[in-house]
Structure 1
């Protein structure tokens, strides 16, 4: 890309939110798989991290 070409703005837009201030959060009803809300390995990762933490705290 040369300096003569105009810059294109980003196309990402955040999903709708609920609440204000500290309690602001994404609207769960508006989220979809396209928003990256699925993480099938989350529970397994959490359990592994807990085991690792427990193993290091026992020493």
Structure 2
């Protein structure tokens, strides 16, 4: 997401880049990790991760 700031990254791409395979990990797994990232990003008010329904995520700067 950092490499594609202000652009949408689909869930499947995130899963493949993080774990190399998207068969074992589900979209829900990705949601949990994004939720954890959001907790860390709360310290920086200029960064936000948006869910783009049916597509993926978008890092807003």
Mark yes or no: TM-score above 0.5.
no
When normalised by structure 1's length, the TM-score is: 0.29
When normalised by structure 2's length, the TM-score is: 0.28
Answer with 1 or 2: which has the greater Rg: 1
Greater relative contact order, per chain length (Cα 8 Å cut-off, separation 6+)? 2
Higher strand share: 2
